[in-house]
Structure 1
Amino acid sequence: MAEEQELLQLELLCKQLYETADANLRTEAEKALVSFANSPDCLSKCQLLLERGNSPYAQLLAATTLTKLVSRPNVTLPLEQRIDIRNYVLGYLASRPKLVHYVLQALVQLFARITKLGWFDIQDKDYVFRNVITDVTKFIQSGSTQHVMIGVQLLSQLVCEMNQVSEADSSRSLTKHRKIASSFRDLQLFEIFQLSCELLQTAAGNIKSMDFSDDSQHGLISHALRLAHNCLTFDFIGTSTDETADDLCTVQIPTGWRSAFLDGATMELFFSLYSSLPPSLSSIALSCLVQIASVRRSLFNNTERAKFLNELVTGVRNILENPQALSDPSNYHEFCRLLARLKTNYQLGELVKVTNYPELIKRIAEFTVTSLRQMWQFAPNSVHYLLSLWQKMVASMPYVKANEPHLLETYTPEIFKAYTMSRLESVTVVIKDGLEDPLEDQGMINQQLDQLSTIGRCEYEKTCGLLVQLFDEAAQRYQEAINSGTQGVEITIQEGRLSWLVYIIGAVIGGRISFASTDDHDAMDGELACRVLQLMNLVDSRIAQYACEKLDLAILSFFEQFRKIYVGDQVPKMSKVYRRLSEVLGLNDESMVLSVFIGKIITNLKYWARSEQITWKTLQLLNDLSVGYSSVRKLVKLDAVQFVLSNHTNEHFPFLGLNANNRSFADMRCRTTFYTALARLLMVDLREDDEDKFEEFMVPLTSAFESVGTMLTNMDTPQKEEEAKRAVVGLARDLRGVAFAFNTKTSYMMFFDWIYPSYTPILHRAIEVWYHDPAVTTPVLKLMAELAQSRSQRLLFDVSSPNGYLLFREVSKVIDSYGSRILTIGEVPKDQVYTMKYP
């Protein structure tokens, strides 16, 4: 009777854990179930729950608890007990084929985990956990669809478990995980893959008679496809590849698998399944084909590889000729991945030799153009793979030694035009329909433009001609809208179109580094650069009254690309870019172009103080300019730069002012970048006897330190305390930038003599007052860490100098002051752990 009561109580706790909306009740149930999982008789109670529990939640609890029990790293269940659990699970699944899906999955997970962890366990000279295929075949040969599905799920989950480092492996040796995975790969993985192909082959022969609205039939094909996919995505050589690096993935199929790929039957099977299955399943077949297309080249000799590629391309061409199924987003995405893998794994010289290559490249181009013009809104992530394909094709052009024409010069201008026009057309759609604006996704923009930069340099005359025409049209309409005083939608549309064109112009100029260029190409770059700079002048003339953040970000992106290519020591002095800039804008040399850069930087820092994104990009540009040897020496001679070095205050650069209380402390991080760049510029002509020059530069920071010292003694209101806190944070970030840039012994000692002993007590005081606030302690501690960093051996003090001891004492005082106080805080709430403990 007590046993029945206990089971009822456990079922009630499970229901409270999974169903109740009361957070307190759920927390109490969770605590009680954790105690249950740690109880000595947990194992027997789990079995009772599985046998006699009336709730699926109780069955789920039993399965997950058993999985935790067998996964414990420090307490291993006896071998006989683990064998009993495994056999019990198989028997339980066989007798209850219609379990709730989450209970079924939990039991399948238990089987996979216990099999993996016991892979090398021996009983009576037998590896008792390796009888996987024998045991699972009983399910598959039963004739029942439900049992076959369970058998496939058991194998599929086992392959996944063997392939990944699970929580159970995290506290164990990674070497042991790889030893188990390698043994499984060598002994059973290929047999499992063949079994999945046999099941799919049988299904392919019966597809016309199958009812895919029947969950069991649909589920069986789905699980069989996923089993094949799991086998093909296995980490065969233990490299633990980063799944985000999709384009770099090569499937390292073992040599023993050659037979599955030489005769073409495997590939034909999956192409057949794609063409005959509904979209909910055909996308998985395409995923398998993506892996098959990525099989390592060395698996074949040259003749076999050519035959394999021909079969692959034939299947791709058939899909392009009958593209109806590609209207499904999943199919479309996987097919784009498949196209990208063609070039990832095969050379352009091999592709041009395939049967009917001209027809193939024509259809791929047509598909790409259609996709770029129509799918930007629905499948932006898929477009990435198409651009990747064309980027790699174009980049390979110089290395093609085959006599067959690659025809890329015919189709790449069409691809480039389609992308550009799709971006321009998207502006109107986004504004009028209120859609998510691609211009706000900087990650996507950078990725796609990086790919487009190479594509655009092929047939560059056509690229430049198109951009000049489109830019002139958009600029004229923009000018007319400004002159007529037009506001609202029309001018916003023109700003969006110009933003895209400026981004694309910057990208194609940046693409010069990866493509053979001529003087004529440099002249074309000059034509494009002149137009962007003229637009910048127009935009900046109105910035005090009206400004467009997206357009300014695009201009900054252009500057960054132009700087990489045409500013620095490697640029030919007579480059036709500068000739064209001189003819149109009077910018005769690099120094004059640098003055334009600095002018734009100063303008942005003055008028865009409240835009963190523009401030960051502007300061990054300034920082990049301060690194190059040639350009930085030209920069410091400019009057504008000397002005900045003498006037770096919030009066001239508002972002340096005390941020309003509703602004985040994180907004101040850009100040470090600003002062790093300024200090580098100062160091160009800073000599050991230039202390006056150094003191002049530090005047604003000296005033700030003295002001902070006064604030710390007068914090009688919350408002004054907040003001003091923000002053400390801003100053610490400023000084860290200076300390980072002063990487010579001379400059570092000037800075050290300035900050010690006059101002280090203020930093100590800030730590004492706000030790509990990481927004203050983190920048102060980072400043002290930077002071102690012997960057470029700048801390090599003279033998008679006490500075090393003094520095050690100051850093130690800060650590001691912070450490002794932080220990008094006590337990940190869960929602603040990251902020408080890991800043």
Structure 2
Amino acid sequence: MQFAASGFTMEVVKLELLCKQLHEANDGVQRQEAEKALVEFQSGRGAATLSQCQLLLDRAQSSYSQYLAATTLTKLVSRNPCTLSLQQRIDIRNYVLNYLATRPKLVHYVTQGLVVLFGRITKLGWFDGLDKEKWAFRNVVGDVSQFLQGSVDHCVIGVQLLAQLTAEMNQISESDANKSLTKHRKIASSFRDTQLYDIFQLSCTLLRTALENSKTLNFSDESQHGLMTHLLRLALNCLTFDFIGTSVDESSDDLGTVQIPTAWRPAFLDFSTVQLFFDLYASLPASLSPVTLSCLVQIASVRRTLFSNEERAKFLSQLVNGVRNILQNPQGLSDPSNYHEFCRLLLRLKSNYQLGELVTVEHYPDAIQLIAKFTVESLNMWQFAPNSVHYLLSLWQRMVGSVPYMKATEPHLLETYTPEVVRAYVSSRLESVGVVLREGLDDPLDDVTVIQQQLDQLSTIGRCEYAKTCALLVQLFEQTAQRYQELISTRMNSRSQQHSMEEIAILEGQLTWLVYMIGSAIGGRVSFNTSDDHDAMDGELVCRILQLMNLTDTYLPQGGCERRELATISFFEQFRKIYVGDQVHKTSKFYRRLSEILGLNDESMVLAVFVRKIITNLKYWGHCEQILTRTLTLLSDLSISYNSVRKLVKLEEVQFMLNNHTSEHFPFLGVGVSVQEMRSRTLFYTSLGRLLMVELGEDEEKFTQFMIPITSAFDSVGRLLAQAETPMFQAEEAKKGLIGLARDLRGLAYAFNTKTSYMMLFDWIYPTYTGVLVRGVEIWSHDPQVTTPVLKLFAELVQNRSQRLQFDVSSPNGILLFREASKVICTYVGDCCFCYLCLQVQEFWLKETTFQKIRYIL
């Protein structure tokens, strides 16, 4: 490219100095000033910036200044609209290629900066041409071929150029931010159709040549190692290309199908392509082999429709044989990266192919045996690559889930191996408790999200041979629970109390795992064919959990195990979904076992157990936000079910909650808790409101009776706020009281979705207590802990949920509600602003009749 080189020497020297100061100076102020000056330089648009970048590259005094020039040129060509002419961009691209060809040993980040510049300028100029017959930037392979025919260092650069260009074409870069997605896809599609297949074939050819010479390659040599790294990355970039334009956000779905174009069929019908990557995995060191497995993951995900039935069977057979060979020689899987990618590969085989297709593969019996052995060993090594377990469990989950739909006559052998997988998972998790406690490791039980994900997978796997699963869980649970009961009962008199406490902690952790697992086993009923015998087994498991709960709840006044309580709530959630509700047959063997063992003869008695547990948790675990929230969520789920809620309100335990919702019985309703913990009060009162609504009707006396605790609390807060200007003002108590009441009323307002119940609440709150809320906002107008719950309360009050705000024409309630909501808004901000509450008020006001509006104006 032709740049003017005179007149800029001093400026270039200054830029080089600034680069050195930015990266090497010890003075923070000096670094900041250098950074500011360099940012200003990079924002330049004219020919001067272009010339200075060339001089920085030509002088080559510092790798820092070279990198500055490369990134500045990238910004320059990426600007929209671009100020550079077509010829200038062609000159820059040619200059970059020549610069890289004559300086193959640049510092790696400088090389990368220039490679990115090449990819960006090629992509943005993809549809630019000197004339209709000649495109300016599309001779990609030809331009790069000069590098591939040179030294190892030149080959590395050539492969980098192709890999970066492929990646650039596959993503929306900063330069595309102001361009349409259609333009991006048009460029990517053109590149896919004209260049990508040739580039992929080139990468395979070069990899095949490298494999043939692998015995003479020295992977400890940086250049040779780098060449293989970039070759594999190039192949992977080709295989992960977004062929149909569905993954523009750079996210990836591990269960997705690779939509290889039909034109690529020859590459995959030639089975040497697949074998190439299996051979590369076997030949390359652990620093390189994970990428080969990543390529195989993509190859295994190639869309099924690319092949005929016969071709697909051969292709699958080759993949399964390759997997079998890896499992027969598993040394490389000791590397965590190899292990992780191999687990992904196993899952992709099942995700893309049906179980009926897998069982017809010649070596399927050997393969499934080896996969089962690998899974068992992996589960037993629970500390090694724990994130990879997800893929193995997903594999078995999908295999078992496919059994009812399999039409092939060949045996799937899952009944032989799934019990081994279940046993390995259960036993390894129980054994992990003692190891974690003694060695101070991260406890898997602390990650509830991962546990839930794994147990959801295990629930399906365990249902394959459910009798064996239940027998295992019952045996382990009885042994552990019996020993736990013995230690608990003798703890106070134990001579070696320290040893006893350690063993109790281990047993509590093991029981936590078992409760989680039993809950997941019961939850698995929904996704698998069941029988009366399975229901009886579920009954056996549930009875044991309830017996344990009765034991542990008696010790709650002295303390409890938080993680075990979370597991118990998880169990109750699964229990409710499967055996409590409108669709459950109450004559099943499940309820018969509950009746025989625990005397729970019908669903009402089972619901009473639920509510007693909820009350116990609310009483003793109000300080634990996670337990409190999940307990209240369970209560909310029960209150939503139509048939269950009608049975619930007849229970003494529910009537107790409706008549005693005070801090005396439920400490989390008091002012002694943190403001953060008060968030759960909204959900609590939403549930109580639903329960109250079942038999409320127009019974105002019953409503007044229910509101007595809230009325008393509001009166107390009102008295405190009246003292706001005096030294006697108890600010913290008043503040927490107001926050809690606002959250309570919001829950009730959400539940009261009929006109009758809503008007009871409105008549109660107005005008007696709306003034208290407005006064609270006035005092703490700059404290979001107060204003947010109050504003949310009013937003709910003006929400016309289920048409509950359809007032009579002669009723002033619409005007009154609008006025009180307006007072809160004006008190909060001084003037009305378009927050969420304002929009709700405005919508409500526009629906009012003309008569009411005139009355308000008058």
| TM-score, normalised via structure 2 length | 0.91
Q: Tell me: CA distance 1:421–1:131, structure 2 relative to 1, closer, same or farther (3 Å).
A: same
In structure 2, the residue matched to 1:474 is: 480
Distance 2:312 2:114 in 1: 42
> What amino acid is the match of 2:370?
R
> Is the Cα contact below 8 Å between 1:467 and 1:505 reproduced in 2?
yes
Is 1:173 matched with 2:186?
no
Deviations 1:513-548 (A, max 9, x none): 011111111111010001000000111010110211
Q: Residues 310-459 of structure 1 correspond to what in structure 2 (within 5 A)?
A: 310-374=317-381, 376-459=382-465
In structure 2, the residue matched to 1:495 is: 508
Deviations 1:287-342 (A, max 9, x none): 00000000011111101100100111110111111111111111111111111111
> Is the Cα contact below 8 Å between 1:625 and 1:631 reproduced in 2?
yes
> Is the Cα contact below 8 Å between 1:371 and 1:383 reproduced in 2?
yes
> Is the Cα contact below 8 Å between 1:11 and 1:53 reproduced in 2?
no
Q: Tell me: CA distance 1:773–1:311, structure 2 relative to 1, closer, same or farther (3 Å).
A: same
Q: Tell me: CA distance 1:34–1:679, structure 2 relative to 1, closer, same or farther (3 Å).
A: same
**Cα drift, residue 469 of structure 1:** 0.5
In structure 2, the residue matched to 1:690 is: 699
Distance 1:718 1:512 in 2: 61
Distance 1:420 1:493 in 2: 15
In structure 2, the residue matched to 1:832 is: none
Deviations 1:600-658 (A, max 9, x none): 11111111122111111111111111111111111111111111122222221112222
Deviations 1:196-239 (A, max 9, x none): 11111111111000010011111110111011111111111111
SS state at 1:384 partner: helix
Is 1:465 matched with 2:474?
no
Q: Residues 114-153 of structure 1 correspond to what in structure 2 (within 5 A)?
A: 114-125=121-132, 126-141=134-149, 143-153=150-160
In structure 2, the residue matched to 1:291 is: 298
Q: Tell me: CA distance 1:606–1:281, structure 2 relative to 1, closer, same or farther (3 Å).
A: same
Q: Tell me: CA distance 1:478–1:25, structure 2 relative to 1, closer, same or farther (3 Å).
A: farther
Distance 1:495 1:244 in 2: 40
Structure 1, gaps ≥5 residues long: 824-839
> What amino acid is the match of 2:12?
L
> Is the Cα contact below 8 Å between 1:569 and 1:630 reproduced in 2?
yes
In structure 1, the residue matched to 2:848 is: none
SS state at 2:558 partner: coil
Is 1:269 matched with 2:282?
no
Distance 1:791 1:417 in 2: 51
Deviations 1:535-582 (A, max 9, x none): 001110101102111111111111110000000000102121111111
> Is the Cα contact below 8 Å between 2:236 and 2:294 reproduced in 1?
yes
> What amino acid is the match of 1:540?
D
Is 1:106 matched with 2:113?
yes
Q: Tell me: CA distance 1:355–1:700, structure 2 relative to 1, closer, same or farther (3 Å).
A: same
Is 1:260 matched with 2:271?
no
**Cα drift, residue 360 of structure 1:** 1.3
Q: Tell me: CA distance 1:585–1:324, structure 2 relative to 1, closer, same or farther (3 Å).
A: same
In structure 2, the residue matched to 1:188 is: 195
In structure 1, the residue matched to 2:840 is: none
Is 1:730 matched with 2:732?
no
In structure 1, the residue matched to 2:849 is: none
Q: Residues 414-813 of structure 1 correspond to what in structure 2 (within 5 A)?
A: 414-485=420-491, 486=497, 487-659=500-672, 663=674, 665-687=675-697, 689-715=698-724, 720-813=730-823
Please point out which of 30, 35, 39 is paired with 1:34: 39
Distance 2:135 2:84 in 1: 17
Distance 1:185 1:819 in 2: 56
Distance 1:578 1:128 in 2: 77
Q: Tell me: CA distance 1:214–1:26, structure 2 relative to 1, closer, same or farther (3 Å).
A: same
**Cα drift, residue 117 of structure 1:** 2.0
**Cα drift, residue 678 of structure 1:** 1.4
SS state at 2:664 partner: coil
SS state at 1:385 partner: helix
Which piece of structure 1 moves more, 354-363 or 775-784?
Answer: 775-784
> Is the Cα contact below 8 Å between 1:247 and 1:344 reproduced in 2?
no
Q: Tell me: CA distance 1:752–1:327, structure 2 relative to 1, closer, same or farther (3 Å).
A: same
Q: Tell me: CA distance 1:483–1:107, structure 2 relative to 1, closer, same or farther (3 Å).
A: same
Q: Tell me: CA distance 1:488–1:14, structure 2 relative to 1, closer, same or farther (3 Å).
A: farther
> What amino acid is the match of 1:671?
R
**Cα drift, residue 132 of structure 1:** 1.9
Q: Tell me: CA distance 1:317–1:781, structure 2 relative to 1, closer, same or farther (3 Å).
A: same
Deviations 1:96-149 (A, max 9, x none): 2222222222222222222222222233233212222221222212x2111211
Distance 1:523 1:599 in 2: 24
In structure 1, the residue matched to 2:15 is: 10
**Cα drift, residue 756 of structure 1:** 3.5
SS state at 2:695 partner: coil
SS state at 1:123 partner: strand
Distance 1:243 1:110 in 2: 20
> What amino acid is the match of 1:550?
R
**Cα drift, residue 721 of structure 1:** 4.0
Q: Tell me: CA distance 1:526–1:245, structure 2 relative to 1, closer, same or farther (3 Å).
A: farther
> Is the Cα contact below 8 Å between 2:721 and 2:729 reproduced in 1?
no
Q: Tell me: CA distance 1:162–1:802, structure 2 relative to 1, closer, same or farther (3 Å).
A: farther
Which piece of structure 1 moves more, 163-172 or 73-82?
Answer: 73-82
In structure 2, the residue matched to 1:836 is: none
Identity of aligned residues (%): 69
Q: Which has the larger radius of gyration?
A: 2
> What amino acid is the match of 2:372?
A
Q: Tell me: CA distance 1:355–1:694, structure 2 relative to 1, closer, same or farther (3 Å).
A: same
CA RMSD across the alignment: 2.3
Is 1:230 matched with 2:243?
no
How many residues are treated as equivalent by the alignment? 817
Distance 1:295 1:45 in 2: 48
**Cα drift, residue 268 of structure 1:** 0.5
> What amino acid is the match of 2:550?
N
Which piece of structure 1 moves more, 287-296 or 728-737?
Answer: 728-737
> Is the Cα contact below 8 Å between 2:262 and 2:306 reproduced in 1?
yes
Deviations 1:745-769 (A, max 9, x none): 2222333333334333444444444
Q: Tell me: CA distance 1:584–1:20, structure 2 relative to 1, closer, same or farther (3 Å).
A: farther
Q: Post-superposition, which runs of at least 4 consecutive aligned residues in structure 1 deviate over 6 A? A: 241-245, 716-719
In structure 2, the residue matched to 1:833 is: none
> Is the Cα contact below 8 Å between 1:118 and 1:129 reproduced in 2?
yes
Is 1:64 matched with 2:71?
yes
**Cα drift, residue 722 of structure 1:** 4.3
